[in-house]
Chains A and B, each alone.
Chain A
């Protein structure tokens, strides 16, 4: 009992609460009113106040680059979470797809476009397998995609033999900049974000995602083929993971079988910070983008402030919890 009482004092003072106490009330108000976007703005303001280098244009582009892979993964995961599922495999699938692209182009000498298509197909296939396990095998999504997490990572190691494979230079351009300043990963992120937004808002599968996530039985009784839709949903998640994997490998100029490990959790965090509910039925591409940006701003800002990587992990956890807590409060007060 006495031990339990001591621990709270050892908890690190959170950064916002510590130095930005004056922001406290204002911070809460902005976030409560505007949800994730308010949180992002508040975080940017705090970081700008604490570090002169933060608002530098080059640094902001860096934030965008840092957010890109997480965001692309998270767009795919948004589909799954909106339909009340979960996808833990996206990090592994990203690594597997990138590895396949590099292997096909560099080792097997396939034309680059062919290799890229193959990599995307591998992502879709991984998603289809997860989807089939969930829809037809009736496995809980958590378990099916946990299995795929392991299988994908394993296959990436098998294909690569455990060592990084150089990425074809034409695809590596995806990791470069346009005109020497505009990073291509940011462009890819924006493009994928727009695609995700259109899928969610305007396509049959997108609208079905909300219905399935909101009430699967009602969706079924309204003539939606829930199982088929789930296949498509997980396949889309796999496809987005493949794109993210290729972007990541392009930035690193090599496909590394151990790349993107643990990214699935960042992706899920971004989706949830963006206002989606893990119980399904709600979520937005814009929210997910903001969620990914919040995580990136936080990491970038803490780096600038020379906060140790260990404390960065702590801060990230706190921000995830606080963001979702505030969002929950906001919704409750809106009711």
Chain B
């Protein structure tokens, strides 16, 4: 693993970012960021959510332009010229010309087209007649696919590929551009550990070929395994550049830059109240795969409860099924089995209104796509969930709504020019306050927050945490889904960890550490190929082999499994596992 890595990273400098600044309305996203990338190095960009990583890479790929500062790139695409010169990256085409390729978390692939067509989209080789030269295209695609060790035909429609393979197609596409700089935004977030290893292998090969890789990850252990240098971003500033061998505690300290207890002002009543929400055996089968293979359930056998006055964190990797569970219990999506009870009364499935009447509220993860009507006024957004309650004799009481909206906007200290302002023009933090405010205007007793502080500046984050405190002090409960581990650990009274659609374990606040949570988050069946169990397979056998494998690893001292946890004792079921 370490054989490929040099202590002195890479060769000549490919790319340099100098003092780059970028502001958005209400937020200074980048504030004098420096970054340098050499040929043949993997440069990890580390930082909390909202630290400015995305803004920085968007700048390098032409989606944003810096307000101040310079970006310099090495000379001609052939690599002949030596010195760096300033470049202005105004579009994706500019980035491409300079040799920068970016693989975002959301892939830029057209599902209906084939792998080859996607790789060469817009740049298809032509015949003398100007038609697409399919044969050449397929041959060149096949070669690229070999390089990324992807065993699919170039004529496979992209829609048939799973997420790991999609990522490989993206990498092949980047290779086809002869990119000298490859930017990867959390490429491992959605991969299983085996897939991660494959990805690392490819990245190492690219590095050996002299490509400079900017690698964003939240998984600290990946830094040592793959990286050469690390640039740490915090609150829009580049606070340090350190070798990848730096120990994890130091990296976390650099990243967070302050005591977590300050950042997360957790105030809780001594003992939680009566159970508000009880979820039992909640299961939703997965959609069948394209070849009729039974898919992994979206979530399965999910049991937990939330008590009044409590903050329960729901941690886990992206794709573990957290959002899906939240949507199901709020009645947005249906589920196949299990029950959701509020105050001991069962909620009708698939009925948002019923969930709202029972006192539930959902702040969805996609603030702009699901939380807000962006072009509507703040007032209209705030009163959206109580429209029926404000309707009397067929008419909506607009004056009353205005009063309510004004009250909650001032309570939440929304920075706005007036209630008539459109939601689109607010900063992320203030937008989120509007989404939360919507639920304060209904009688919400259990607020589900899905990634409540994603892309929000630190100041607004703390305000949202304080709001959570106020809610729990008033006897409300909060179920908080977050991929921001420090946030989950800092705010939760209990942490539930989901992995592969199940609750993998539960940790009380005192025992919840990053390590303990991650350990639970990465367990459960890792490879889809390994467990071909039908969707309704008995839990223990389907999980047997891999769990035994991980559980045999170093067990976190604080690890305590819930009674529902299908985990087995180490070594017990290695042979039981059905592998048919």
Contacts and interface: CB of A to CB of B under 8 A. Distances in A.
A214 B398 contact: no
A223 B385 contact: yes
Contact of A218 (B353, B384, B387, B388): B384
A207 B387 contact: yes
Nearest to A202: B395
Given A214-B374, A221-B371, A222-B438, A203 B391 contact: yes
A274 B315 CA distance: 49
Contacts of B372: 215, 218
B364 A214 contact: no
Contacts of A221: 330, 332, 352, 362, 364, 370-371
Given A204-B391, A210-B380, A223-B352, A218 B373 contact: yes
Nearest to B353: A223
A208 interface: yes
A215 B380 contact: no
B356 interface: yes
A211 interface: yes
Contact of B375 (A214, A219, A224): A214
Contacts of B376: 210-211, 214, 281
A207 B385 contact: no
A331 to B, nearest CB: 10
A303 B275 CA distance: 75
B466 to A, nearest CB: 24
Contacts of B352: 220-223
A252 B558 CA distance: 85
Interface in A172-216: 198, 201-204, 206-208, 210-211, 214-215
A207 B395 contact: no
A17 B376 CA distance: 36
B220 interface: no
A208 B352 CA distance: 15
Contacts of B371: 218, 221
A330 B344 CA distance: 55
A12 B35 CA distance: 58
A138 interface: no
B369 interface: yes
Contacts of A219: 373, 384
B396 interface: yes
A217 B380 contact: no
B375 A223 contact: no
B396 A204 contact: yes
A217 B370 contact: yes
A276 B371 CA distance: 23
A215 B381 CA distance: 11
Given A218-B384, A223-B353, A281 B391 contact: no
Given A211-B373, A215-B373, A217-B369, A222 B385 contact: yes
Contacts, number: 72
Interface residues of A, number: 23
Contacts of B557: none
Contacts of A218: 369-373, 384
At the interface, is chain A mostly helix, strand, loop or mixed?
helix
Contacts of A206: 396
Contacts of B374: 214-215
B400 interface: no
Contacts of B384: 211, 218-219, 222, 224
A207 B438 contact: no
A207 B374 CA distance: 15
Contacts of A210: 373, 376, 380
A201 B387 contact: no
Nearest to B442: A223
B370 A207 contact: no
B459 interface: no
A223 B356 contact: yes
Contacts of A202: 395-396, 398
A303 B372 CA distance: 48
Given A204-B391, A222-B438, A282 B375 contact: yes
B333 to A, nearest CB: 11
B394 interface: yes
A29 interface: no
Contacts of A19: none
Interface in A215-262: 215, 217-225
Contacts of B370: 215, 217-218, 221
Given A214-B375, A215-B372, A222-B438, A203 B395 contact: yes
A215 B367 CA distance: 11
Interface string B464-486: 00000000000000000000000
Nearest to B401: A207
Nearest to A225: B353
Contacts of A208: 387
A85 to B, nearest CB: 16
A275 to B, nearest CB: 13
B207 to A, nearest CB: 41
A218 B374 CA distance: 10
Nearest to B367: A218
B332 A207 contact: no
B387 A224 contact: yes
B394 A203 contact: yes
B38 to A, nearest CB: 42
A287 to B, nearest CB: 16
A84 B249 CA distance: 51
A207 B405 CA distance: 15
A211 B387 CA distance: 11
B449 to A, nearest CB: 13
A219 B362 CA distance: 12
Given A215-B373, A218-B373, A221-B362, A204 B388 contact: yes
Contacts of B330: 221
B369 to A, nearest CB: 6
Given A220-B352, A281-B373, A204 B387 contact: yes
Interface in A254-283: 281-282
Contacts of B375: 214, 281-282
Contacts of B385: 222-223
A68 to B, nearest CB: 26
Contact of A201 (B332, B373, B398): B398
B380 A207 contact: yes
Nearest to B332: A221
Interface in B526-551: none
Interface string B308-346: 000000000000000000000010100000000000000
Contacts of A211: 373, 376, 380, 384, 387
A223 B356 CA distance: 7
A207 B396 contact: yes
Interface in B419-466: 438
A222 to B, nearest CB: 4
Contacts of B364: 221
A214 B362 CA distance: 19
Contacts of A217: 369-370
Contact of A220 (B332, B388, B438): B332
A206 B391 CA distance: 11
Nearest to A201: B398
Interface of A: 198, 201-204, 206-208, 210-211, 214-215, 217-225, 281-282
Interface of B: 330, 332, 352-353, 356, 362, 364, 369-376, 380, 384-385, 387-388, 391, 394-396, 398, 438
Given A202-B398, A215-B370, A222-B384, 7 more contacts: A198-B395, A201-B398, A208-B387, A221-B362, A222-B438, A224-B387, A281-B376
20 contacts: A198-B395, A203-B391, A204-B394, A204-B396, A207-B380, A210-B380, A211-B376, A214-B375, A215-B370, A215-B372, A218-B371, A221-B352, A221-B362, A222-B385, A223-B352, A223-B385, A224-B384, A225-B353, A281-B373, A282-B375
